[in-house]
């Protein structure tokens, strides 16, 4: 099997956090402005292999020998771990360096260094990732993702929105989805029936899923059957408060710092690799309404930033349950 693979939606098996144990994580997704020349294209390459002398030089040579120019490069070599991570952004002439030749060149490097991961992405040539969004009653994360997608700030195609909360035809979300031709599916769930088989049927052609405050636990069976990555957002109220109305619990306790965490969903509840975390301060001047608003704003920003990082190939697996985020 070729180790070099294009980071296109048709290759979701590149990532596979959902169905893998924490011992065998795999990862991803930037999109820069390549307008410096109308003839140039922009590409990204990520590389993960055992550490060795000269890898950076060989990567640079591979790009430069085809007339490409590196715009930015990030390297991480953890101490005493003997592994190498890199993410390179480069511009190139797509006529002089064809995509098939690019794959061949990076594949040679993969073979030389026994790479665990070598992924190429050319945003102007590759289709966008196709995602499914799952949501419950709270709309703030869902609405934010829809607006960012509409404004071209979210580099994905939304295949569908699924919810266990019914939204009528007169609601803003329903009208937005209808106007843009995005299917909306309401699936009433119970403790006995989470409707997972129907969800699987609806999302079978997606590349990853986003839980935009979806208040249902996805089973290990669902994750294994889906076989691709699922990204989740939840509050990170500090100190943590469990159960119903966590924001009110935290407000009543007078906390001074609140947060949000975006992570991959694994069979271990809320234990998947973390992609993004954010915090903000609250004070005695906040009432419950402003407290909740700050928490929700943080969740929106944390989720959208994580999705962009994923799609821009900024996230790589590290050790059993960590991530390198360039």
Reported as a pLDDT band with limits 50, 70 and 90, residue 271 is confident
Q: Answer whether 301's CB lies under 8 Å from 145's CB.
A: no
Q: Is 1 helix (H, G, I), strand (E, B) or coil?
A: coil
Residues 141 and 299: their CA atoms lie apart, in Å, by 7
The residue-averaged pLDDT of 222-251 equals: 89
Q: Answer whether 138's CB lies under 8 Å from 23's CB.
A: no
The residue-averaged pLDDT of 271-280 equals: 95
Does 54 score more than 50 pLDDT? yes
The owner of tokens 């307008």 is 35
Reported as a pLDDT band with limits 50, 70 and 90, residue 69 is very high
Does 18 score more than 70 pLDDT? no
Q: What is the CA radius of gyration of the chain?
A: 21
pLDDT digits (tens, 9 = 90+) for 187-221: 999 999 999 999 999 999 999 999 999 999 999 99
Residues 6+ apart with CB under 8 A from 62: 105, 106, 108, 109
Active site (catalytic) residues: 270
Which domains can be identified in the chain, with CATH numbers?
32-121 (3.30.70.260), 129-325 (3.40.50.170)
Residues 265 and 54: their CA atoms lie apart, in Å, by 36
pLDDT of residue 10: 42
Q: Within 13 Å and on the Cβ side, how many CA atoms surround 10?
A: 4
Pairing of strands 83-92, 41-50: antiparallel
Sign of CA dihedral 325, 160, 124, 115: positive
Residues of the chain above pLDDT 70, percent: 88
pLDDT digits (tens, 9 = 90+) for 142-158: 999 999 999 999 999 99
- DSSP E strands in the chain: the ranges are 4-6, 41-50, 69-76, 83-92, 117-121, 129-135, 156-163, 184-186, 208-212, 229-235, 257-264, 274-281, 315-318, 322-325
């Amino acid at each position: 099997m070729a180790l070099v693979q294009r980071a296109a939606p048709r290759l979701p098996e590149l990532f596979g956090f959902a169905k893998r144990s924490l011992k065998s994580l795999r990862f991803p997704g930037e999109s820069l402005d390549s307008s410096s020349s109308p003839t140039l294209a922009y590409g990204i390459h990520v590389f993960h292999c055992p550490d060795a002398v000269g890898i950076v030089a060989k990567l640079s040579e591979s790009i430069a020998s085809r007339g490409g120019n590196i715009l930015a490069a990030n390297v991480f070599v953890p101490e005493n771990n003997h592994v190498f991570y890199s993410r390179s952004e480069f511009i190139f002439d797509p006529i002089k360096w064809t995509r098939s030749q690019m794959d061949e060149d990076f594949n040679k490097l993969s073979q030389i260094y026994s790479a665990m991961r070598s992924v190429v992405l050319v945003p102007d040539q590759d289709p966008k990732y196709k995602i499914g969004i799952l949501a419950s009653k709270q709309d703030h994360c869902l609405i934010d993702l829809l607006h960012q997608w509409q404004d071209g700030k979210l580099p994905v195609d939304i295949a569908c929105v699924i919810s266990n909360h019914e939204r009528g035809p007169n609601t803003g979300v329903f009208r937005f989805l209808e106007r843009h031709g995005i299917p909306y599916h309401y699936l009433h769930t119970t403790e006995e029936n989470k409707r997972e088989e129907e969800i699987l049927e609806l999302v079978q052609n997606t590349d990853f899923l986003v839980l935009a405050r979806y208040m249902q636990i996805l089973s290990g069976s669902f994750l294994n059957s889906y076989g691709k990555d699922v990204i989740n957002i939840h509050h990170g109220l500090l100190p943590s408060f469990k159960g119903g109305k966590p924001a009110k619990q935290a407000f009543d306790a007078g906390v001074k710092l609140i947060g949000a965490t975006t992570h991959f969903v694994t069979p271990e509840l809320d234990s998947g690799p973390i992609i993004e975390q954010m915090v903000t301060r609250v004070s005695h001047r906040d009432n419950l309404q402003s407290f909740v608003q700050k928490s929700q704003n943080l969740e929106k920003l944390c989720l959208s930033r994580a999705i962009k990082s994923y799609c821009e190939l900024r996230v790589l697996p590290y050790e059993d349950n960590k991530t390198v985020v360039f």
